[in-house]
Structure 1
Amino acid sequence: MVFVTIYKVKLRLKVLCLFVGLFVTLSFGVAQDKLELGGFLGASYYLGDLNPHKQFYQPSLAFGGLARYVISDRYAIKGTVGMARLKGSYPDNGVKFPQGEVPYSFNRSVGDATLQMEFNFVSYDHAFLSSTNFTPYVALGVGSTVYKRFSTEIGKNSEQTVFILSLPFSIGVKYKINKWIRVGAEWSFRKTFVDDLDVVGLNLPINAEDPYGFNNEGNIHNNDLYSLASVHVTFSLFRRKTDCNSGF
């Protein structure tokens, strides 16, 4: 058991180092482009079996840091690392399970890390156009969600920290206040490939992983998502070295 625990700790450290390494690479890999560092603060909420459709359902605190590597006035690569809280309850939202109106609720924290490509709808922060200080944008990429999963390992109920794949999609706006400070607002979703973000124990009155009793073994019901709505502030650390008429 000691060796298994050590292995799991090393694995988590490797994943963390991977994201840190990506940030460092973005920061210093190509010196002639800009790097922005900052943070975000907002609300997070859950979408799943207990809440299939309602947006901004039981919102909770979300926060974290972000790094943005500017490729051009149209494209950027953004990395984020943060924490979010997710909540849900039953009966609520008109959802009816076969078990009847048996009270059930969950409240958990998740870690969140993403790497996304941003596309600006209009030219933004162009090196030679001072009027390009605002743009809406979309972003798509890959991420990982970290949370504690309940299991029956070693014949008893226990929690295990797991890293799962997520697919982030974001829409937002950015505004350049001056040559050093940028602000923005973003609404993003994280599609996961698990169905137990709303499970906080075993032998509960509601099996939130399979509330309708389908005994699902495929991916058809792996529909847990979560969303973050946030505002962010970033600071530009490096000035671009751009040749005149480069078209950046």
Structure 2
Amino acid sequence: MRRAVILVFICLTPIFGFCQSEEIGIFAGGSYYLGDLNPAKQFYNTNFAPGLLYRYNMKDNRWVLRIHFTYGTVEARDADSKIQSNIDRNLDFRSYIIEAGPIMELNFIEYEMGTRTNFGNKNRKSGTAYIFAGVNYFRMRPEGTLDNIMVELQPLGTEGQESSQNSDKRYNLNQISIPVGLGIKFNLGPRIACSFEYGLRKTFTDYLDDVSGTYVDPVTLALENGPIAAQMANKNADAIVLDGQQRGNPGTKDWYVFAGAILSYRLNKPGTCKKW
């Protein structure tokens, strides 16, 4: 066991060496959603999204571990669609998103954060493009409008969840997402850097918008889940929906996006090694 620990330490030393730098930063950007109510329109209904982050720049100046917390809001309305069947469906939603977790960044070239110089190393630049990926936790809370009042949708079971028509449990508000994206980062001066990035979030839920499967019988839904559930399930009073009629596309999961700028501050001075 002792030999194994020593071997792992030796293998990781080139990356997790003793000359890393650490930084803290703020994120300011926008958030939007892609799903049943907005299949493809980029930057649709973008809302302000703030965040905080910590970066651990590894010895090789290529790999960066980021821990972050980001808050955003996503929303969509069928009334904005150009697809007639979506307009007839007449649904809408809004959900906050609280996201946190680790992300790994890979700089395209060696990059030293927080200085305009390269410390005499021609391979170490003061700016670079990068890609990133990770595994994050996020919490959502879909809401819809009813008489100009926002109503929380998950407790209603608008697709008949936990009723005689649909034995599925109500969807979980706590979910996992896979962030993937790209960006550029560059130094503004001693210990200060700026980044611009675009990050897609793949989710494993189709209920960020509360729309996934089929309609259920509205009379039974009203009796078992309440009249508000029936109202929120079908908001087009002129439309007659049938039990089993398609309401959403369960074959695709929802996505959301965080895109914006990061301003960060280096905790240790450029060109110095961290003392242990």
Common topology (TM > 0.5): yes
1:193 aligned residue: 204
Q: In proportion to residue count, which structure has more strand?
A: 1
1:90 aligned residue: 78
Q: Which amino acid aligns with 2:47?
A: S
Counterpart among 227, 230, 242 of residue 260 in structure 2: 230
Gap change, CA 1:165 and 1:173, over 3 Å in 2:
same
**8 Å contact kept, 1:151–1:160:** no
How far apart in 2 are the matches of 1:166 and 1:97? 29
* Structure 1 residue 101 displacement after superposition: 1.5
1:66 matched to 2:32? The reply is no
**8 Å contact kept, 1:50–1:95:** no
Deviation string for 1:176-203 (max 9, x for gaps)?
Answer: 1223101110100111111111129833
Unaligned runs of 5+ in 1: 1-28, 243-248
Gap change, CA 1:215 and 1:179, over 3 Å in 2:
closer
How far apart in 2 are the matches of 1:179 and 1:36? 12
Secondary structure of 1:151 counterpart: helix
Deviation string for 1:142-201 (max 9, x for gaps)?
Answer: 101112361359x99xx9983211000021000112231011101001111111111298
How far apart in 2 are the matches of 1:234 and 1:112? 19
How far apart in 2 are the matches of 1:211 and 1:145? 31
* Structure 1 residue 206 displacement after superposition: 5.9
**8 Å contact kept, 1:114–1:142:** yes
Q: Which amino acid aligns with 2:179?
A: P
1:129 aligned residue: 121
How far apart in 2 are the matches of 1:175 and 1:215? 41
* Structure 1 residue 35 displacement after superposition: 0.7
Unaligned runs of 5+ in 2: 1-15, 113-117, 143-153, 164-169, 212-227, 237-243
Gap change, CA 1:63 and 1:211, over 3 Å in 2:
farther
TM-score (norm 1): 0.72
1:3 aligned residue: none
1:37 matched to 2:24? The reply is yes
2:176 aligned residue: 165
* Structure 1 residue 117 displacement after superposition: 1.0
**8 Å contact kept, 1:33–1:238:** no
Superposition misfits of 4+ residues, deviation over 6 angstroms: none
Secondary structure of 1:97 counterpart: helix
Identity rate, percent: 27
1:241 matched to 2:264? The reply is no
1:108 matched to 2:140? The reply is no
* Structure 1 residue 127 displacement after superposition: 5.5
Q: Which amino acid aligns with 2:130?
A: Y
How far apart in 1 are the matches of 2:75 and 2:190? 39
How far apart in 2 are the matches of 1:83 and 1:214? 26
Q: Which amino acid aligns with 2:197?
A: E
Gap change, CA 1:241 and 1:91, over 3 Å in 2:
same
How far apart in 2 are the matches of 1:30 and 1:211? 59
Gap change, CA 1:143 and 1:102, over 3 Å in 2:
same
How far apart in 1 are the matches of 2:53 and 2:257? 17
**8 Å contact kept, 1:54–1:93:** no
TM-score (norm 2): 0.65
**8 Å contact kept, 2:36–2:249:** no
